[in-house]
Structures are given as structure tokens and as C-alpha cells.
Structure 1
Amino acid sequence: MTEFHEQDLSGADFERVSLRAATFSRVSLNDARMQAIDFTGAHIRGALFNRSRLRGVELVDVEISGELGNVVVNGVDIAPLVDAELNRRMPERAKMRPGDADGFREAWAILERRWADTVARARTFPEEALHRSVEEEWSFIQTLRHLNFASAAWVGRMVLGDASPWHPLDLPWDEAPGWDGIPWDRAARPSLDEVLAVRGERQAMVRGVMESLTDDQLASEVSRPEPGWPQEENFPVRNCLSIVLNEEWEHRLYAERDLTALEKDN
């Protein structure tokens, strides 16, 4: 098997080449031109398709999960249509984009209530099942670990100013570049109760910020230039809290989806 590591193949020409079952990780295809390409059976995650143009494509039996914005299919921007349909199916989803401090408090209360139901459901499964991956996604426990990381990053570090708010079980996203001093042990297998203990502390931290939040604070900005992540200058507090709301909402849906799959497997 031919391997390419740390090589610059910019401008290379591939014609009548088979890359079947090849693995691409941290590969840049910026401004690439592709014609008569077969993606049948491909699995793509953590990808950026910004400003991409697809012409003459066939999208049949395709599943797309991600952030949509200005996605034009056959002349129709489907992003607002998808957004409206998701809000119709899940009316509380629209509350995850609050406009003021009271709205953020309401959104967080919804998330805590929803997650309490999801955790109660998860407790009906054997502990081993909660470490099981469904279609190469995070396990239930890994999902909780990632949400602990997100709250620590965007509330603990950015909003509250703790330069290193981490717990050893925190889990960054898989495509993260990695940083000194930030834990990242994907293979760890803590118990559900161990992770929920950290989770309770992080939820209380976010709840405290939401309870005291004012509209003036929401409109303010924070800077964290010191090494680590996030490392941002003049970043809106509103955006920090919105990221946490989005992470909590979307990952709960993923968790529920995977619990349903685990039920079917048993």
C-alpha cells in the first residue's frame, strides 16, 4: 500500500486512478477540480465544503448532517426549508437562538430538562452499551465528555476567564489540532457516574452564568489571547453562549438517535 505523509502534492494530476478504500486525514483539497468522480460508499466527516460547486451530480440515498447555509439545490436554497421543517418537528429548537438574556435562560432550562430525560433513558442500558460506538460516532459517554469540554471552553475559559478549566476526562472534537495542557484521551472508559459528576459541575457553571446574565453582558466581548483554546480576541459573549446551546441541542439529538440504534441491536 502506497502511503503519503507530510507531502505537498499541489497541482498534481490524477487521471484514471483508483483510490478505492483510501483514507484521507487532514488533507487539503482547496480549489481542487474533480470530474467524473465516483463517491459511492464514501464516508466523509469533519469536512469543509465552503464555496464548493457541484454540477451534474447524482445525490441518491445520501445522508447529510451538518451546518447548512446558502445551500442551493437545483436553484432552490434548501437551508431555510430544512430549518423551518426542523423547527416544525421540534418547536423548542427555535428557542435555541435566543435574542436576549431571558431567552438564554429559557433555552438552558429546556436543555437541562431534555438532557435529564436522555440520561434517564441511557441508564436503562447496560454500562457496556454506553461505551459502544454507532456507525463510528462517539459513544454516549464520549458525547457527554465532549459536552463537558465545550462548556469548559466557551463558558469556563472564554466567559469566566479560567485559562485552564479542564478535567482529565474532557474530550475535544476528533479533528481538533491538539494543544499542550488540554486533555484528550479518546480511549478512556470512565463510568457513566464519573462523567455525570463532571457534567453536573459544568451544568451548574453554565446555569450560574445564565442566571446572572444581563443584556449588557450579552452584548459585550471577551478576549483570551493566552495559549490554549479557544484563543480569541474581542469575541462576543453572545456567540460563546450560543455555541454551547448549539452543542448541547445537536449532541442530544445524536445521543437519542444512537440509543435508538442500540435498542434495535439488542
Structure 2
Amino acid sequence: MTEFRDQDLTGARLERVNLRGATFTQVSLNDVRMQAVDFTGAQVRGALIHESRMRGVELVDVEISGELKNVMESLTDEQLASAVTRTEPGRPRMENFPFKECLSIVLNEEWEHRLYAERDLTSLEKEN
């Protein structure tokens, strides 16, 4: 097994590489391009993936935590108690809508989209 410790692999090109069981600790994936990558069973914690593109990347049984948790933890009681007003053209137009309720709607929508995606992927996998 090859080990990379304290190395700069900037610009490295990995093609047809199997990283099953690999461990990544304090790895920067800034400005990364990924195509047809399978992260099945991967665990990504405390990751910041910035200005990166992922096409054909398969995320199955993957646990990703970090940025959303950081955003949620950074919200203050004052911010959660605030209201949102949107009067410009388009939908929805609302005044003094509770921010906490907006956040709840967005998180529920994202969760429902994930459930649909998982259901559809499971259905497609059964067909193949």
C-alpha cells in the first residue's frame, strides 16, 4: 500500500484508480475535478470542498458532514428569531416571514429531494 504523508500532489492526475478502503486525513480538495468517481461507503468528515466539480460521481452510503453543521451552529438566536421580507417580482412575495420557518422549509425540501433521489436510484439499480 502506498502512503502519501505531507506531500503536495497539486496537479496530479488519477485515472482508473481504486481507493477502496483509503483514508484521507486533512486533505485539501480545493479546485478538484472529478469524473466517474465512486465514493461508495466513504466517510467524509469536516471537509471543505471548494471550487470543485463532480460529474458522474456516485455517492452511495456516504456520510458527509461539516459545512452544513458549521452553518447551522453559527446561527444565533437573534438570526433565528428574525423575519424575512421579499417584495421583488417573482414568487414567493412575503413580508415578515419567520426566518426559522424559511430554514425549516428549505431543510425539509432538501431532505425530501434526497429521499426521492434514493428511491429513484434504488429503482434504477433494480432494473439493471
Name the TM tier (shorter chain).
0.3 to 0.5
Higher relative contact order (CA 8 A, sep 6+): 1
Q: Look at both structures and tell me which one has the larger radius of gyration over its CA atoms.
A: 1
* TM-score of the aligned structures, taking structure 2 as reference length: 0.46
Greater share of helix: 1
Greater share of strand: 2
